[in-house]
Amino acid sequence: MKSFDELSKEFVAKFNTRHFPASPQSLYEPAQYFLGLGGKRIRPVMCLMGNELFDEISPDAYEVAIAIELFHNFTLIHDDIMDKAPLRRGMQTVHEKYDEPTALLSGDVMLVTAYDYINKIKLANIHKIIHVFNNTAKEVCEGQQIDMDFEKKEQVSLPDYINMISLKTSVLLAASLQMGAILGGAGDGNQGHLYEFGKNLGLAFQIQDDYLDAFGDPAKFGKQTGGDIVANKKTFLLIKAMEIGTSAQRKEISELIKTSSPDKVQNMLSIFKACGVDEAARELMAKYSEIAFQHMEDIAVMSIRKKPLEELAKFLVQRDF
């Protein structure tokens, strides 16, 4: 059984190649540029780990892992256009470095290229893999649309928020594991448990992300905290505070949102603590982590095979940075 780091190195060695023709350069150079910005490659490695949970890693698992990473990068290029984001991993986004039409089109061609890799796998699994891949792809689009819809809304309910982060983030982690499992010959029961493991892990991770953006140690977190508060982002903390806060606290939050005073972050954090939403976030993270680990427990393979995934999960949801 290989660790995340080992599999990551193996994946990167295969992925760091040119995925597109040379010409027209104006279309393919931007696509290749974006892939060159790097990333943790968590999703494709999860596909490999889901595969190794049941069998030796098959060549097809690498093809699907590459397809997953191309799909993920396609969504990032298009999300950056929609969010008008100037930077990604500290570098210019595609629409910023080139222009919007080029970013749109190089994203499109990256999605088509993802299907090229899927098309390389053995016939026996292709219907199932495309089925899971497509359902997930549509869910990720749905999550992005719902997230954009939230920006126009006064208030968002907690179940709606959980549904959104599930679609936008968790299902791709879950499906990456499941597709690896399908290629490893896992039965429906094991596939289902692995999927739920990934989904709940993703939810825990996303809520932790909201938490760390507010309460994390900037030195460890790697970026300034409070960014979500400054941007008035509807995070778990804000939504929960608007749900459980007193009417005075809710009023104060509503007024803080309208301001951009220098102590906005500090004041919002005080309200969050007074409402106890920091504690609520930690509890919910713990709850989703627990559900995730229970599903891992229920997968019918020898526990030694589960080690790398359990370690990855612990790393992802117990980081304090």
Residues that bind a copy of itself (CB under 8 A): 24, 26-27, 78, 81-82, 100-102, 104-105, 108-109, 111-113, 115-116, 118-119, 123, 126-127, 130-131, 134, 137-138, 141-142, 144-146, 148-149
Token pair 């039965």 is found at 187
Residues 126, 64 contacting (CB under 8 angstroms): no
Decide whether 124 or 286 has the Cβ nearer to a copy of itself: 124
Decide whether 138 or 220 has the Cβ nearer to a copy of itself: 138
Rounded CA Rg of the chain? 20
Decide whether 12 or 81 has the Cβ nearer to a copy of itself: 81
Which residues, including other chains, have CB under 8 Å from residue 202's CB and lie 6 or more apart?
Answer: 165, 166, 169, 170, 171, 172, 173, 174
Residues 316, 8 contacting (CB under 8 angstroms): no
If one counts every other C-beta atom within 10 angstroms of the C-beta of residue 22, the result is 9
Name the token pair of 259.
């301001």
Helix (H) or strand (E) holding 89: none
Name the token pair of 137.
């792809």
Shortest spacing between CB 195 and a copy of itself, in angstroms: 19
Decide whether 109 or 301 has the Cβ nearer to a copy of itself: 109
Decide whether 102 or 235 has the Cβ nearer to a copy of itself: 102
Shortest spacing between CB 169 and a copy of itself, in angstroms: 16
Decide whether 125 or 225 has the Cβ nearer to a copy of itself: 125
Shortest spacing between CB 231 and a copy of itself, in angstroms: 17
Shortest spacing between CB 111 and a copy of itself, in angstroms: 6
Shortest spacing between CB 187 and a copy of itself, in angstroms: 21
Measure the CA angle with vertex 124, ends 120 and 130; round to 5°. Answer: 60
Alpha-helical runs (H) found in 36-157 = 42-52, 59-83, 94-97, 100-118, 123-151
Shortest spacing between CB 66 and a copy of itself, in angstroms: 14
Shortest spacing between CB 58 and a copy of itself, in angstroms: 17
Decide whether 123 or 248 has the Cβ nearer to a copy of itself: 123
Shortest spacing between CB 285 and a copy of itself, in angstroms: 26
Backbone angles phi, psi at 91, to 5 degrees: -120, 165
Name the token pair of 107.
């994203």
Closest to 225 in 3D by CA, of 217, 233, 236: 217
Token pair 């010409």 is found at 23
Residues 293, 314 contacting (CB under 8 angstroms): no
Residues 36, 88 contacting (CB under 8 angstroms): no
